[in-house]
Amino acid sequence: MLRDFGSRDGAFIALTAELRARLPALVNGASSHVAVPLQGSGTFIVEATLATLVGPTDKLLVLVNGSYGERMVAIARRLNRPVEVLTWPEHQALEADRVEQALDADPGITHVALVHCETTTGLLNPLAEIAALVAGRGKALLVDAMSSFGALAIDLRATPITALMASSNKCLEGVPGLGFAIIESQALAGSGGNCPSLSLDLHDQWRGFEANGQWRFTPPVQVVAALVEALRQLEAEGGIAARRRRYQENFEVLASGMAALGFRLFLDPAIQAPIIATFRYPEAAWFRFEPFYRGLAERGFLIYPGKLSRADSFRIGCIGAIGPDDFRRLLVAIREVVGALQDGTPNEPALTECRT
């Protein structure tokens, strides 16, 4: 992060090549797919992938059970692409049979898009099952793997996926500023001329890399360098399996500690990914999100507001360069903050668990 690079110099071209080699290898895609990194946030790479791969005469089916599925719908509509939507409640996983029916009912659908792990809730969707049926019908599958890539195993040799989208700053533990898509080579090669945006055209971006190893437009060099270093650290940790184990332990320490404090998880454990945990607000007058957030922030812990459309909730991330001991310290902080909030509203019965 403290070194500067000439973005067209050999040293940086080598870093870019390492980045583009490491990413598909993580999902067994090195022989079938290519990595196309893009400046910007996760939403930029999702829009770029949809705009590049879904042509004006194609038709996209988006499977939605949270905000990030809805965002893909908004992107497709803004791009003026024909789009169909199948929706599930936020606490339910996508169901393959409804997808199957929708594809059979509308042969005009050419592409299907879904979110692997919905960051709205932390819900893990059944990617392999849906991928198999989409491929069986000869459709392309576009997967927002923003909050799963690097921690939840995806095997492109076993799971047919046309494009996998993610970013530098979630389970890969880099800094934000970069997205990437891992795209099936033939689909990408055939996508020239689709994208209505010069900046977001992943076909042009890929051809740029292939031509001279350079980025078309100035890359965030420190962000790229940090991501390459983060990928080396992922390998040193033991790869995706080891990272998943650490996140799983983080989640379990958090979930059991929160249960002991009286907080309830929003999701059924069967569909909960160890990425981000959504907790319902306690049904108690002492709880208000703002002072709860502030009390934890003062103790060095940043949590997230909820994103549910109908229930009050907050979220705690389980990912990043943190381990179970950090979550034990977090639980101590939560206990303190809950105690302070309860003391501030003395007429309210305390959560008994907090007093033991």
* Chain residues in the site for its own copies (CB under 8 A): 1-2, 4, 6-10, 39-44, 47-48, 51, 71, 74-75, 78-80, 167, 169, 175-177, 196-201, 216-223, 297, 302, 304-305
Q: How far is the CB of 117 from its own copies (least distance, A)?
A: 16
Give yes or no for a contact between 137 and 126, defined as CB atoms under 8 angstroms apart. Answer: no
Q: Which is nearer to its own copies, 8 or 328 (CB)?
A: 8
Q: How far is the CB of 274 from its own copies (least distance, A)?
A: 20
Q: Which is nearer to its own copies, 152 or 200 (CB)?
A: 200
- Tokens of residue 82, six digits: 């024909």
Q: How far is the CB of 104 from its own copies (least distance, A)?
A: 30
Q: Which is nearer to its own copies, 108 or 305 (CB)?
A: 305
Q: How far is the CB of 31 from its own copies (least distance, A)?
A: 31
Q: Which is nearer to its own copies, 303 or 354 (CB)?
A: 303
Helix axis angle, 239-260 to 324-344, nearest 10°: 20
Strand partners, 36: 181
Q: Which is nearer to its own copies, 47 or 351 (CB)?
A: 47
- What is the C-alpha to C-alpha distance for residues 62 and 111, in angstroms, rounded to an integer? 8
Q: How far is the CB of 105 from its own copies (least distance, A)?
A: 28
Q: How far is the CB of 217 from its own copies (least distance, A)?
A: 4
Q: How far is the CB of 160 from its own copies (least distance, A)?
A: 27
- What is the C-alpha to C-alpha distance for residues 102 and 89, in angstroms, rounded to an integer? 17
Q: Which is nearer to its own copies, 297 or 340 (CB)?
A: 297
Q: Which is nearer to its own copies, 64 or 156 (CB)?
A: 64
Q: Which is nearer to its own copies, 122 or 219 (CB)?
A: 219
Q: How far is the CB of 5 from its own copies (least distance, A)?
A: 9
- Tokens of residue 244, six digits: 């998943």
